[in-house]
């Protein structure tokens, strides 16, 4: 496989001239940073080493020392790192990871899992030369367990360089994983992974996640990812280094430097393919100043403008769809039917929770989120027959804001809830196109039929009519097609998949109208297993990925709908995990989207969604909900210094620093402001927490003072 970098040898290179240019850029008051970054990023690493030597010969000074003196901050760190030989840069990264305050296991994993034998040899020698100690001994002294053993295996370079096939061995013991992943060639291991997928009906990564844990699990996953595709592994690492609040600059610098002369072009394409934006634009948005300009020079270009699709990315796309078509996912809910269920007892307890002064939200949450939807329907019926009251009306009168919306959503049948969510997306000022797409691309035929019936019953008009009255053009057509609930069932038909793939590829060369019609006719009607095979063969027919074509050739809501179908076909839990992330990231939370997904998936695949969220965003869904449902909004979803002060003033028995401490203060003491600000926030969070269990801290801190 041929990798391509963005930094190559400069033509007509003269190290003495470059040394003089750098000297002039740094002499006198101030320094010409633009001249420094242009020169450094315009030379290969080998040429930079010649410049270092020429600088010392001409001026009797150390160039790196001068750069450290003249430059500051992240820009200085980046330029100085570029001036080191790559092996010495790796050695410094490993040394800092081992010798700093605490061990940076992620750095150790990234470097040792991604380097080839030659690079590891050079790293070990450079480490010995620079620090006078043995790298293996330092790793042994600073790590432990299977994690340590696997790092040592990687250092000892027992991996085979040939493509010979060795008899595969299966099992989940850590020693077997170490033996296989540390001692087999890349070619052999790729074949082992394919065979494992056939036998186990799941990817090797899933087995690693289920059998291993901690740093050892992360190391083994990194090795597998690098065996599958080093560029894809680094694209993922770069994305995680920049997403969210703050930038992991050490990771960003390390990867941009070490891959700029190897495979940065392919990393860029993998990045665009995986994250809907170019690496160039993400760096541009996440960094600033001379530091940003240097990183952009190493990146080499904006793929959103170029529109190229590199051969390496096409191969990866084909393999990705192949894995998707072979994997059988076991969907796992987070809410199951309660054992020893007594609807009459639940009905009485709910009535008691809403009777008299105040409302016992704890009891309501505890009952509602620990019963299946079918059991909740029984509770509603028994509540009316025993007490002569409408449970839904009582809940609406006793609860408020998002807590009310969430609890009421859980009490509706799935079909009623979907119908209500479609109604909310359509009615009012503006249409929530994202909600329409999300619901229609993730529901089965049976769920769509039930939703249509519920919509007709509740709103006295068909859902199809409502969609057609509120949308237009091709977007209206694709929603109308999806709302029919007429998608084919069954496995992939290989012969037909080849025909469909070729028709899609041919449509890419036609005008936009013909292309959109052909894409819609296939994407809206074929079964998901069949479409996975179609999308795989599409790569072979066109040398492009279906996602890239949709992003490049389509626009607006139609593009979002087509893209939603493709993402749902590829990995529906991952698609919904990303929808949850987008609902909560940034300032403000899209509470409607958050409620919609949590309610509708809690008895289907919320556990799978949780796993995908954790893997993609390096944060558990539970942690994210905890933070985002207790962050600023214009209503009661607010935890800040001012609100906390108000809460403490209105609740004299709360002496702690955060609003969650007011959680259990006696209702007769807390005034209404305290209740509406503090208690609602915590209860809203707890309702989500119960739907997404198995997380430490499922309830807010309780006030230790009581009357």
For residue 706, pLDDT beyond 70: no
All residues at 6 or more sequence positions from 647 whose CB lies less than 8 Å from its CB, including other chains: 654, 659, 662, 673, 674, 677, 678
415-623 folds as Annexin V; domain 1 (1.10.220)
DSSP label at 638?
A: -
DSSP label at 432?
A: -
Query: Would you state the structure tokens that stand for residue 60, as one six-digit string?
Result: 């009797």
For residue 264, pLDDT beyond 50: yes
HSE value, Cβ hemisphere, 13 Å, CA-based, for 611? 16
Under 8 Å between Cβ of 479 and 467 = yes
Query: DSSP states of 398-421 as a string?
Result: H--HHHHHHHHHHHS-HHHHHHHH
Lowest mean pLDDT among 266-275, 318-327, 415-424, 461-470: 318-327
What is the pLDDT of the chain when averaged over all its residues? 83
The number of beta carbons lying within 10 Å of the beta carbon of residue 375 is 19
Rounded CA-CA distance 437/559 in Å is 11
Reported as type and span, the H/E element at residue 72 is none
All residues at 6 or more sequence positions from 679 whose CB lies less than 8 Å from its CB, including other chains: 361, 662, 663, 670
DSSP β-bridge partners for residue 662: 702
Domain boundaries along the sequence of the chain: 343-411, 415-623
Q: What is the pLDDT of residue 154?
A: 87
Asked, colleague to colleague, whether 343-411 and 415-623 share their fold, the answer is yes
Nearest to 687 by CA among 338, 397, 359, 364: 364
Reported as type and span, the H/E element at residue 357 is none
Query: Would you state the structure tokens that stand for residue 311, as one six-digit string?
Result: 């051969």
**Rg of the chain in Å (alpha carbons):** 29
Q: What is the pLDDT of residue 682?
A: 52
pTM of the model: 0.74
Under 8 Å between Cβ of 114 and 222 = yes
Nearest to 139 by CA among 129, 152, 158: 152
Rounded CA-CA distance 585/292 in Å is 24
DSSP β-bridge partners for residue 702: 662
Under 8 Å between Cβ of 365 and 693 = no
Q: What architecture (CATH level 2) is domain 343-411?
A: Orthogonal Bundle (1.10)
φ and ψ at residue 300, rounded to 5 degrees = 95, -10
Reported as type and span, the H/E element at residue 225 is helix 214-228
- Tell me, letter by letter, the H, E, C secondary structure of 495-533: HHHHHHHHHHHHHCCCCHHHHHHHHHHHHCCCCHHHHHH
The string of pLDDT tens digits covering residues 34-90 is 999 999 999 999 999 999 999 999 999 999 999 999 999 999 999 999 999 999 999
Query: Would you state the structure tokens that stand for residue 244, as one six-digit string?
Result: 């969210």
The string of pLDDT tens digits covering residues 568-605 is 999 999 999 999 999 988 777 899 999 999 999 999 99
Packing angle of the helix pair 606-617, 591-601 (nearest 10 deg): 130
């Amino acid at each position: 496989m041929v990798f391509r970098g963005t930094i190559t040898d400069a033509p007509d290179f003269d190290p003495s001239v470059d040394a003089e240019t750098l000297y002039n850029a740094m002499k006198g008051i101030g320094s010409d940073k633009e001249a420094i970054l242009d020169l450094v990023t315009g030379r290969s690493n080998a040429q930079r080493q010649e410049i270092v030597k020429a600088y010392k010969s001409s001026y009797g000074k150390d160039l790196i020392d001068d750069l450290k003196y003249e430059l500051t901050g992240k820009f200085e760190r980046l330029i100085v790192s570029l001036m080191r030989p790559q092996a010495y840069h790796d050695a410094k990264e490993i040394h800092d990871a081992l010798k700093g305050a605490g061990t940076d296991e992620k750095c150790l994993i990234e470097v040792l899992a991604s380097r080839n034998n030659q690079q590891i040899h050079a790293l070990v020698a450079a480490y010995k030369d620079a620090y006078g100690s043995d790298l293996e001994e330092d790793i042994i002294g600073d790590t432990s367990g299977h994690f340590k053993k696997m790092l040592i295996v990687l250092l000892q370079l027992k991996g085979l360089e040939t493509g010979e096939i060795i008899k595969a061995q299966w099992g989940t013991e850590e020693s077997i994983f170490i033996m296989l992943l540390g001692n087999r060639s890349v070619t052999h291991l790729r074949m082992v992974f394919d065979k494992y997928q056939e036998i186990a009906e799941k990817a090797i990564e899933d087995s690693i996640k289920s059998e291993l844990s901690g740093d050892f699990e992360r190391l083994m996953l990194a090795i597998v990812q690098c065996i599958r595709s080093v560029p894809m592994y680094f694209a993922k690492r770069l994305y995680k280094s920049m997403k969210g609040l703050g930038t992991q600059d050490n990771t960003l610098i390390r990867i941009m430097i070490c891959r700029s002369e190897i495979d940065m072009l392919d990393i860029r394409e993998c990045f665009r393919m995986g994250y809907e934006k170019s690496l160039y634009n993400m760096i541009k948005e996440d960094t600033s100043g001379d530091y940003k300009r240097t990183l952009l020079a190493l990146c080499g270009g904006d793929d959103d403008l170029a529109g190229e699709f590199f051969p390496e990315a096409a191969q990866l796309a084909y393999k990705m769809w192949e894995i998707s078509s072979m994997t059988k996912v076991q969907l796992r809910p987070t809410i199951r039917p309660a054992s020893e269920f007594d609807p009459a007892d639940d009905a009485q307890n709910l009535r008691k929770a809403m009777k008299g002064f105040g409302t016992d939200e704890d009891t309501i949450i505890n009952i509602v989120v620990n019963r299946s939807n079918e059991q909740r329907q029984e509770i509603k019926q028994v509540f009316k027959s025993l007490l002569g009251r409408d449970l839904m009306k009582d809940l609406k009168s006793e609860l408020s804001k998002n807590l009310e919306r969430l609890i009421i959503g859980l009490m509706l049948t799935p079909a009623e809830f979907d119908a209500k969510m479609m109604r909310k997306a359509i009615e009012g000022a503006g249409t929530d196109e994202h909600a329409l797409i999300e619901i229609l691309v993730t529901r089965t035929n049976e769920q769509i039929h039930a939703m249509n019936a519920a919509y007709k019953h509740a709103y006295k008009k068909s859902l199809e009519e409502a969609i057609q009255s509120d949308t237009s053009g091709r977007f209206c057509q694709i929603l109308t097609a999806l709302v029919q609930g007429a998608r084919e069932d069954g496995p992939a038909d290989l012969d037909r998949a080849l025909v469909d793939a070729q028709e899609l590829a041919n449509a890419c060369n036609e005008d936009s109208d013909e292309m959109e019609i052909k894409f819609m006719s296939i994407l809206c009607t074929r079964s998901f297993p069949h479409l996975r095979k179609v999308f795989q063969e599409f790569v072979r027919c066109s040398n492009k990925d279906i996602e890239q074509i949709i992003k490049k050739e389509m626009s607006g809501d139609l593009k979002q709908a087509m893209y939603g179908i493709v993402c749902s076909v590829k990995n529906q839990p991952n698609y919904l995990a990303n929808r949850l992330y987008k609902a909560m990231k940034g300032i403000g939370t899209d509470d409607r989207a958050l409620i919609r997904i949590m309610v509708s998936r809690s008895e289907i695949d919320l556990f799978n969604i949780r796993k995908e969220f954790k893997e993609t965003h390096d944060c558990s869904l539970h942690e994210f909900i905890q933070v985002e449902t207790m962050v600023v909004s214009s209503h009661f979803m607010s935890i800040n210094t001012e609100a906390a002060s108000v809460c403490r003033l209105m609740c004299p028995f709360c002496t702690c620093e955060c609003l969650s401490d007011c959680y259990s203060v006696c209702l007769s003491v807390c005034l209404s402001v305290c209740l509406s600000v503090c208690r609602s926030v915590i209860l809203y969070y707890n309702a989500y927490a119960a739907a997404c269990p198995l997380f430490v801290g499922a309830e807010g801190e309780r006030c230790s003072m009581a009357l």
